[in-house]
Structure 1
Amino acid sequence: MAKILCVLYPDPVTGYPETYPRDDLPKMDRYPDGQTLPTPKGLDFQPGAMLGSVSGELGLRKYLEGLGHTLVVISDKEGPDSAFERELVDADIVISQPFWPAYLTAERIAKAPKLKLAITAGIGSDHVDLKAAIEHGVTVAEVTYSNSISVAEHVVMMILGLVRNYLPSYQWVVNKNLWDTTGGQGWNIADCISRAYDLEGMEVGTVAAGRIGLAVLRRLQPFDVQLHYTDKHRLPEAVERELNLTFHPDVESMIRVCDVVTINCPLHPETEHLFDDNLLGKMKRGAYLINTARGKICDRDAVARALESGQLAGYAGDVWFPQPAPKDHPWRTMPHHGMTPHVSGTTLSAQTRYAAGTREILECWFEGRPIREEYLIVDGGKLAGTGAHSYTA
């Protein structure tokens, strides 16, 4: 029998929800590219429930314990004395999330001789040392596409939030300290619009145009913006014509002409700290940068400096390094930001999909059936499936 170690984020500080704002979710069978949603043989949860926190357990306990396996669910994942370090040594399977990543470093993988499968409940498996997984014969899988549209919607929200100066304007409604500066009115239009612009007519580009990047482009087209992209895999000509896209052979040529840049590429050695002082300095002064990919794609201090100098007009994202971010992380206090915790891909809608996908992967694993190609990142000692497309060995 197997031991499954599942690392999830803590429950709400107000307690695990007893009710939810909505009673159901829209019915969906396929993603925009035709890929079917997860198709497990069974589910032991109500769609729309909170599954990504400790009490939610991804809806897996009844299924796994019914097969005689052991499920251990924790949130304590940092440091040598963490529950993750203690439980990992005899785990057969580790399940983690991009939003609360349990970093499977080479050192940790070496300490877990029984480990054979690492599942990302969501998309993005860079919290796993893929080189070490290849060397140790660990299969790595993720629930590809399960929360791609969730993230794309978050990107559009953040672009509009920055360009329209939404967050500072909202503060004029709720921040009583601001009210006192206007004789108690709590209302100053000039302050609200001093950094507000229209998105219409702007040049908007995405670094990578995979599932998330392309979804962002499709959602922005109706705003009458000029769309740009760069990717190592060029989109079909028909898609470029449909969206009136301008392709750029590299990041630098694209960011020079864009008013808004959104990062939607995986984190790997080629993209780590890609947006440093040098690259940020080549962007248009007053550009906006959105990063819902991975925190380490941007140089932490370079971003703060660019905002302080005015080179960037705004930065928003929901990815940090490490996660959760320490209290003194400069992105918490730098000017003109719209940061959130890593929440873009873990809406209640997305949780239903990635929990179902995790169940599907486990069913395949225990029944000796092949895991979907699109879910595979590492298999058989090499990059496989989506991993072979998205990462470099």
Structure 2
Amino acid sequence: MAKILIVLYPDPITGYPPTYARTSIPQIDTYPTGATLPSPKDLGFTPGDLVGCVSGNLGLKDWLESAGHTVVITDDKEGADSVFERELHDADVVISQPFWPAYLTAERIAKAKNLQLVITAGIGSDHTDLNAANERGITVAEVTYSNSISVAEHTVMQVLVLVRDFVNQHQIAASGGWNIADAVERSYDLEGMRVGIFAAGRIGRAVIERLAPFGVRLSYTDRFRLPAEYEEKYNLTFHESIESLVTEVDVLTIHAPLTEQTRGLLNDELLATMPHGAYIVNPARGAIADRDAIVRALESGQLAGYAGDVWDPQPAPADHPWRTMPHNAMTTHTSGTSLSGQARYAAGTREILENWFDGSPIRPEYIIVEGGGYKGTGAHSYAEKPTKDNQGV
């Protein structure tokens, strides 16, 4: 029997919801790539329920305990006396979400003598020290594509919110005002703007496909160039580097994983090369941006707006400057944890666990590291020297 340590975000302040705004969510049979959705033997929850919080427990608790496993579920993950820290030493499996990540540093991995499997319920495994996991032969998996469209939709929303200056307009309406000139003095049409996509993986491509009908001029950069027919279909311009891309865009969206190469990439020097008054939307990872450089660029007017769904660290402290910097439209890493997205990544988490307990292979697209090396999606997204064999992952 195994010990499974699950770290999830806290329940709603008002308590676990007894009812929901909608009674169901649409049934999706396949992802846009044709890949099938998670297919566990059972769910343990009703799709559309809030399962990403402690009481929701990803629908795993009853199933795991009925099989004789020890299950610890907590939202307490920070500090030496946290539940996560106290329970980690003999855990066989750790599960957390990118929205409320359980940071598995090399030091914590060294203490977790029994740890064999780390699962990200969602997408993005940079909260685990992947090199340390490789050294120990720990398997790291995530539910690839489960909430990619959720994040893409959120990205498009934030692009429009920034360009149309929605936050300011809503605040005027909510405060009882009718100040039309004040509401529109920073409001523009997206149509005709130059939009650059940094990293054209699953989320980046979904953003391209959703923004194209707005009549924008699209460009991108990625470690792998997209097929010529795809570029032609969306009239895409390819740039060899982020440094080239940012000089020719009015809006930049970020979809790269956090690596040593991308950490702090959006710094003063790079931001200074962007056209004056550009916008940035970053739903990828907060640490890709230099926190204070973003603030300075907004205060100087070099950036007209910054929106994002990700912070560094998470949860962000109450005095984080991105909460109050001018012309921001930040959210609290909610893009990928819509109730629809939760249903998919909770199902994928259970599928991974079923495979692991049965000794059957985990889907390659879910694997980040396995057997001491980057495999599957990890070889494409995280390895320093990706191979051609992983371009389609």
- SS, match of residue 248 in structure 2: coil
2:249 is the alignment partner of 1:289? no
Please name the residue that 1:214 is paired with.
205
Using the TM superposition, give the Cα deviation of residue 23 of structure 1 relative to its aligned residue in structure 2, in angstroms: 0.9
Please name the residue that 1:354 is paired with.
345
Please name the residue that 2:184 is paired with.
193
Structure 1 stretches lacking a partner, 5+ long: 180-185
Separation (CA, whole Å) in 2 of partners of 1:64 and 1:322: 31
Query: 1:152–1:216: 8 Å Cα contact kept in structure 2?
Result: yes
Please name the residue that 1:256 is paired with.
247
Please name the residue that 2:387 is paired with.
none
- SS, match of residue 90 in structure 2: coil
Report the residue type matching 1:73 in the other structure.
I
Separation (CA, whole Å) in 1 of partners of 2:71 and 2:29: 29
The alignment of Structure 1 onto Structure 2 pairs a total of residues equal to 384
Report the residue type matching 2:144 in the other structure.
T
For 1:121-270, list aligned pairs within 5 A. 121-175=121-175, 179=176, 186-270=177-261
Using the TM superposition, give the Cα deviation of residue 65 of structure 1 relative to its aligned residue in structure 2, in angstroms: 1.1
Separation (CA, whole Å) in 2 of partners of 1:190 and 1:256: 31
Separation (CA, whole Å) in 2 of partners of 1:286 and 1:196: 12
Separation (CA, whole Å) in 1 of partners of 2:333 and 2:82: 21
Q: Deviations over 1:6-60 (max 9, x none)?
A: 0000000011000001111111111000110000011111000000000000000
Using the TM superposition, give the Cα deviation of residue 172 of structure 1 relative to its aligned residue in structure 2, in angstroms: 0.8
Please name the residue that 1:182 is paired with.
none
2:93 is the alignment partner of 1:102? no
Separation (CA, whole Å) in 2 of partners of 1:27 and 1:96: 25
Please name the residue that 2:379 is paired with.
388
Separation (CA, whole Å) in 2 of partners of 1:58 and 1:312: 39
Using the TM superposition, give the Cα deviation of residue 392 of structure 1 relative to its aligned residue in structure 2, in angstroms: 2.3
Query: 1:268–1:392: 8 Å Cα contact kept in structure 2?
Result: no
Separation (CA, whole Å) in 2 of partners of 1:19 and 1:246: 47
Separation (CA, whole Å) in 2 of partners of 1:378 and 1:132: 10
Separation (CA, whole Å) in 2 of partners of 1:333 and 1:36: 41
Separation (CA, whole Å) in 1 of partners of 2:181 and 2:219: 33
Query: 1:146–1:353: 8 Å Cα contact kept in structure 2?
Result: yes
- SS, match of residue 65 in structure 1: helix
Q: Deviations over 1:273-329 (max 9, x none)?
A: 000000000011000000000000000000000000000000000100100100111
Separation (CA, whole Å) in 2 of partners of 1:30 and 1:66: 31
TM-score by length of 1: 0.97
Using the TM superposition, give the Cα deviation of residue 334 of structure 1 relative to its aligned residue in structure 2, in angstroms: 0.5
- SS, match of residue 256 in structure 1: helix
For 1:261-340, list aligned pairs within 5 A. 261-340=252-331
Separation (CA, whole Å) in 2 of partners of 1:343 and 1:152: 12
TM-score by length of 2: 0.97
Query: 1:44–1:63: 8 Å Cα contact kept in structure 2?
Result: yes
Separation (CA, whole Å) in 1 of partners of 2:319 and 2:61: 37
Please name the residue that 2:70 is paired with.
70
Report the residue type matching 1:69 in the other structure.
H
Report the residue type matching 1:386 in the other structure.
T
Report the residue type matching 1:131 in the other structure.
N
Match 1:372 to one of 363, 382, 385: 363
Separation (CA, whole Å) in 2 of partners of 1:220 and 1:390: 24
Separation (CA, whole Å) in 2 of partners of 1:224 and 1:29: 30
Separation (CA, whole Å) in 2 of partners of 1:212 and 1:254: 18
2:46 is the alignment partner of 1:46? yes
Separation (CA, whole Å) in 2 of partners of 1:100 and 1:43: 22
Separation (CA, whole Å) in 2 of partners of 1:35 and 1:69: 31
Separation (CA, whole Å) in 2 of partners of 1:387 and 1:48: 29
Separation (CA, whole Å) in 2 of partners of 1:256 and 1:37: 38
Report the residue type matching 1:383 in the other structure.
Y
Query: 1:258–1:284: 8 Å Cα contact kept in structure 2?
Result: yes
Separation (CA, whole Å) in 2 of partners of 1:55 and 1:141: 23
Using the TM superposition, give the Cα deviation of residue 380 of structure 1 relative to its aligned residue in structure 2, in angstroms: 0.5
Separation (CA, whole Å) in 2 of partners of 1:289 and 1:270: 19
Query: 1:378–1:387: 8 Å Cα contact kept in structure 2?
Result: yes
Report the residue type matching 1:146 in the other structure.
S
2:80 is the alignment partner of 1:80? yes
Report the residue type matching 2:129 in the other structure.
D
Report the residue type matching 1:385 in the other structure.
G
Q: Deviations over 1:130-174 (max 9, x none)?
A: 000000111000000000000000000000000001010000111
Separation (CA, whole Å) in 1 of partners of 2:224 and 2:26: 32
